[in-house]
Amino acid sequence: MTRVKKLATAVAAGVAAVGITAAAAAASDTSHRSSTPAVSHRAASAARQSVGHPTPPGAPALPSVVVGRGVLGGKPWSVTLTYYATFPKGFTPPSPPGLLHSPALKGHSLLCTNVVIDGAPEGHTTDPWAGCTMVDGARDTDHPTGASLEGNTDKGTTGSRLFLVHPDAAVAHATMTFRDGRHATAKVTAVPGTAYRAYAIPIASGQTIAAVDEYDAHNRLLNHNTQWR
């Protein structure tokens, strides 16, 4: 079910998939001790799922960036952000939530997060706008930051997973520490010409998170989070 939304999510955490260390890469294809994820985390929902958004022939290339990609459990994964300055053809803004006379949702642009895990769009969705959020231009200061666990099994709580983060502006890179002592480190990636940034890290089936540390461009610790599993 598609729920294009514009609401704040909280949970500072971070890891981006492009700069994964060798230790994390080894962890991505190895099963480890199983663990039930903490109730406090926000599992990935259908509103975060998406499929590709092809550009029509002859149309200018859309601002887009690959946040991360690789192989997890023998199958490809990737996270891509795409920005539309105006609503693309085929997209219909949703009705305002709540009461009949609720104010209309703000924003005339669209930010889409395309998540592929286990070689398929997350949730196996066929809705091209399922992972999109309405934004107000290229630098919407109200665009929410936050983190989520993305996956095709039990809403990202078991099996192969991706830890996806839209970080605060000061965050430049982050390190994830797993329960077995391994680490994964990566940098924040931005859509060119916009303020929209993200990072992601793959988590192998059975692997669990001990901590996530976020740093600024001067390698100063900004956040230390231990609530994720």
Predicted confidence (pLDDT) per residue in 111-147, tens digit: 999 999 988 888 777 788 989 999 999 999 998 899 9
Task: Write 150-155 long-range contacts (CB < 8 A, 24+).
Answer: 150/44, 150/48, 150/115, 150/117, 150/122, 150/200, 151/44, 151/117, 151/122, 152/117, 152/118, 152/120, 152/122, 152/123, 152/124, 154/43, 155/43, 155/44, 155/45
Contact 6, 107 (CB under 8 A): yes
More confident residue, 99 or 187: 187
Q: Averaging pLDDT over each range in 29-33, 42-46, 55-59, 221-225, which range is the top one?
A: 221-225
Q: What element of type H or E holds 24?
A: helix 22-27
DSSP 8-state assignment for residue 89: T
What percentage of the chain carries pLDDT values higher than 70? 69
Report pLDDT for 124: 74
Convert the pLDDT of each residue in 8-22 to its tens digit: 333 333 333 333 443
pTM of the model: 0.71
Q: Per-residue pLDDT for 24 more than 50? A: no
Nearest CA-CA partner of 34 in 154, 124, 166: 154
What percentage of the chain carries pLDDT values higher than 90? 52
Q: What is the mean pLDDT of residues 162-169?
A: 95
- Between CA 77 and CA 161 the distance in angstroms is 9
Contact 165, 186 (CB under 8 A): no
Report pLDDT for 153: 78
Contact 77, 202 (CB under 8 A): yes
* Domain map (residue ranges) of the chain: 22-88+105-225
More confident residue, 204 or 21: 204
- Between CA 110 and CA 87 the distance in angstroms is 6
* Residue 51: band (very low, low, confident or very high) from pLDDT cuts 50, 70, 90: very low
The two tokens of residue 64 are 């887009």
The length of the chain is 229
* Residue 154: band (very low, low, confident or very high) from pLDDT cuts 50, 70, 90: confident
Side chain identity at 105, as an amino acid letter? L
Q: What element of type H or E holds 23?
A: helix 22-27
Could you tell me which residues are beta bridge partners of residue 147? 165
Q: What is the mean pLDDT of residues 149-168?
A: 86
Q: What is the mean pLDDT of residues 178-189?
A: 93
Report pLDDT for 163: 94
